[in-house]
Chain A
Amino acid sequence: MADVRYYDVRCVRGEITHVDIDNGVIESAGTSFFDKAVIRVLGPKGWGFLTRDHVDIDSKREVDALVAAAARLAAVTADEIDLADAPRGVLPVPPLREDPRDIDLEEKTRLLAGIEAAARIEGVANTRARYTEGIDAVRYLDSNGNEYSYEAVRSGFSVLAIASRNGVMQMGSERDHITTGFNLRGKQDLGRKAGEVAVSLLDAKIPKGGARRAILDPELAGVFTHEAVGHASEGDLVREGASVLGGKIGEAIGCPGLAIVDDPTLHEFGFMPVDAEGVAVERTEIIRDGILRSYIHNRETLAAVGNGIAGHARAEHGAPPIVRMSNTFIENGDAGYDEILAECRDGILLIGSRGGQVDPGRGVFQFNAEYGYLIEGGETTDMVRDVSLSGEILSTLHNIALIGNDRKMSPGYCGKGGQSVPVSDGAPHLLLENATIGGRGE
């Protein structure tokens, strides 16, 4: 195989357990099985990938045949790829406080039903809760003789409440996912909160769109970090010329004191013991004191772009690894919440996230809050709903006026290139000057 400069094989075999309860009815509760493999071959120039169900990684004959097939694909590529050297090593997986496999499906269903029932307060017309548990057994080997295996266990749930009155429908939703064990006990509070938010939104106002001061709560500020900075710092986008942060290393792109980090070693929902191309994981400081310091990379983008470290390659089961965020956050500043509120005086407080999206090439992002409050004279007043925020990556970070000291991380899933991976993001409360608020009020 003269035309094979490098290959690796990554197999993920495992189980997914779901429980879905809709308005008190157990819609489904059960386990499904998967067994996916991706074979990557670096040919004379670029990559050939094969994805398969059910590969026997211990069979040299099978692996050789797959590598040869991937090499034929690689032969048609024209992009000249090199791989940077990178440190190897696998971190220990956090111990499970309670292994979800030791708990039968009946108990999981009963606990989830308790959370779902807690959301059904007066005024709520529909409740729905879903439990998701994933057990991944990962095995990896490459042509340099590296091999590793580990097991990842994820457990969590989401709960949705819809309140309805005179044709007006509003929702509240909560979720919690962890990598450190079973996660359904003692969570009824989150169900109740989803119900309460849905009901109180029935009376919320629709805010007026336009530029004003905004306070972002830690969850929404986390999404802001992820959308406004995280994606644009991904080495593949930088390499392809698709990020406004390309060529900006060493430049001040944010306010003094601002630090933004991606850290896959933290035992949050984006934790990974080793990345998807066998590279040891490490913390990357993307921004330090407002200055762009690093991109996040895999081996290929590190070789092409520089500035940063590899170890940020991630993949959904059965998909080739790409550069992804893991646990992404703004580090704590020193402002207390009351100080932020007082400094804001008149503006809007935005809470929770309904998701966001970014066009990293244009440098424009948008995300939506679950709800918010108007701020008048340094105090929160009326509740508002359906409020979003948009901005431009290169100017918005300069508009951070105060950074709080109360960082919290929130788990979620991030989509890129058709692949979804578990992540977490977070921040302390932030005060933003001149934020573009989208709302249809007048």
Chain B
Amino acid sequence: MNGEDLIEQVLREGERQADEVEVFYYRGESIATEIKKGILGTAEESEAWSMAIRTVNDGRIGFSSTGDPDRWKECLDAALASGRLATPQQWGGFPKPAELAGTASSADRDLVVAVEDAAGMVEDLLAGAAEHPVEVVGGGASLARAYMMVANSTGTLYGMDRTAASVSLETIREQSTGYEFDASPFRAELDPRSVGEQAAFLAARSLGGRDIETGRYDIVLSPIAAASIIGQVLLPALSGRNVKAGRSSLADKVGEQVLDESLSVYDDPFAPGLGSTAFDAEGVPTRRLVFIEQGVLREFAYDLKTGYRYGEASTGSAVRSGGEPPGIGFHNLFLDGPRTNEPGDERAVWIHDVVGAHTANPFSGDFSVEISNPFWIEGGDLTEPIRTAMFAGNVFEMLAEIGGLGKDARRVGRLTIPSIRLNNQQIIGK
């Protein structure tokens, strides 16, 4: 039985036992080639199939999922059983069919999930890395295509294709390491050769770094370092669920200046990107959401469940992966602002990446992390490597006044972000 027929059957059977039913269906295929010791080491092909069912009865939401089409009845029963235990809540129904306002841009018609293509990308990565004297220790290329559908008992049924191409490379020279990556829905947007070259450059150029004294320095976070630290702290604080549960320090600050007035944070689900979509994971039409506009907090992200419970409207922000229940997330998030001062023009400590961003305190925003591939930067050039150090601070305080955004915005996961200059920050030397 194919996906659509099965969905129809689950909805029909579910409706007999619950007020409302929703099915989220996913099938995907992918190819991944991995590099071991500078050559193509392994090739992997995956096929995934999953179906997640939600039932609602008198405001009690039940959930289950399965990877086995033959177990759909058991899965429906488990969803109903789970609903009987859930605390009942305000519920206004799954979304009715609607005209979708925008068009998604997350599928590449020309992307073929073929091992030969992935192997070709690996060759390009390695050719790029060969431009610097380093050893390649790992990395790889992958190509993926998925189809997902969300359908509910009010007659809503949307489906979409998604594709993803990604590459990464890890290099080493003595005890100096380099890592670079890129991912896009569109194969032609990736340049594996330059990703390989950059990974090799980092390891080669970071060799022989000098120590740095503990003290206050002007720093520049690369888009990767900025995304790691900000992703751990700022993004959870924008989730309506955390706001209402008392887990967001931004909770009562709508209308207030919370970041530097040059910074805006918005989700644009119609921009090309890995999360681009015209409907969210619950079938709610998506829209452009401006969370922070020129430093002023404007709104939070909601899904149906949190929205209904607290009298807020869903912002079309539900996301999910495979057989997981939906949660609040972002589709294509941007941190953006006017470019005035180029961050690396005046002398500063440039930080490529950080180790341990996930240990930041997501509520207070305090963090102290080890920095990777730090350099002195001046006149826009990386002039001299720094050996190793820690960087400590508070995400909200450091973003309250920034020293400039770079013209080098790039996608890091679902966040597109430029490099950010931050003056007078705490660096701990060794």
List the interface of chain A (C-beta within 8 A of B). Answer: 22-23, 25-36, 46-54, 69-70, 72-74, 76-79, 81, 105-106, 109, 125-126, 128, 162, 164, 167-171, 206, 209-211, 239-242, 244, 318, 320, 354-359, 361-368, 385-388, 390, 392, 436-440, 442
B167 close to chain A: CB less than 8 A: no
With A and B bound together, what is the CA distance between A408 and B72 in angstroms? 43
Does B150 reach chain A (CB closer than 8 Å)?
A: no
Chain A residues with CB below 8 A from B67, complex form: 33-36, 53-54
B346 within 8 A of A: no
Contact B45 A69 (CB under 8 A): yes
In whole Å, how far is A53's beta carbon from the nearest beta carbon of chain B? 4
State the CA gap A29–B79 with chains docked (Å). 9
A-B contact pairs, 8 of them (CB 8 A): A30-B64, A31-B64, A76-B33, A79-B39, A209-B428, A242-B177, A357-B358, A361-B170
The prevalent SS among residues of A at the interface is strand
Chain B residues lying within 8 Å of A164, measured Cβ to Cβ, are: 246
A413 to B355, CA, bound (A): 18
Q: Are A440 and B249 in touch, CB under 8 angstroms?
A: no
B321 at interface (Cβ–Cβ under 8 A)?
no
Question: Which 3 A-B pairs have CB atoms at the shortest separation, nearest pair first?
Answer: A30-B82, A438-B368, A368-B359
A23 shortest CB reach to chain B, Å:
6
Q: Which of B355-409 contact A (CB under 8 A)?
A: 355-356, 358-361, 363-364, 366-370, 372, 388, 390, 392-394
CB-CB < 8 A to A436: which residues of B? 390, 428, 430
Q: Point out which of B65, B246, B370 has the most chain A C-beta atoms below 10 A from its C-beta.
A: B370
Question: Is residue B42 contacting chain A, with contact meaning CB distance below 8 A?
Answer: yes
Known: A30-B63, A31-B82. A76 touches B116 (CB 8 A): yes
Q: Are B43 and A77 in contact (CB under 8 A)?
A: yes
> Are B246 and A125 neighbours in the complex by a CB distance under 8 Å?
yes
List 13 additional contacts besides A30-B78, A48-B42; criterion CB under 8 Å. A26-B86, A28-B86, A31-B82, A33-B64, A33-B71, A33-B78, A48-B43, A73-B115, A79-B39, A126-B245, A171-B361, A241-B137, A365-B370
Q: Is the CB of B40 within 8 A of A242?
A: no
- Of residues 26 through 58 on chain B, the ones whose CB sits less than 8 Å from some CB of chain A are 33, 36-37, 39-50, 52
Q: Please tell me if B272 contacts chain A, counting CB pairs below 8 Å.
A: no
B135 within 8 A of partner (CB): yes
Size band of the interface chain B makes with A? 35 or more
Tell me the bound Cα distance from A210 to B394 in angstroms.
17
The interface residues of chain B lying within 8 Å CB-to-CB of A76 are: 33, 40, 43, 115-116, 119
Q: Is B46 in contact with A50, judged by CB distance below 8 angstroms?
A: yes
Contact A30 B81 (CB under 8 A): yes
A32 contacts B64, C-beta separation under 8 Å: yes
**B429 → A minimal CB distance (Å):** 9
Q: Are B61 and A28 in contact (CB under 8 A)?
A: yes
In the docked arrangement, what's the CA distance between A436 and B389, Å? 9
How far is the CB of B208 from the nearest CB of chain A, in Å? Answer: 13
Q: Is the CB of B177 within 8 A of A109?
A: no
Q: How far is the CA of A438 from the CA of B394 in the complex (A)?
A: 13
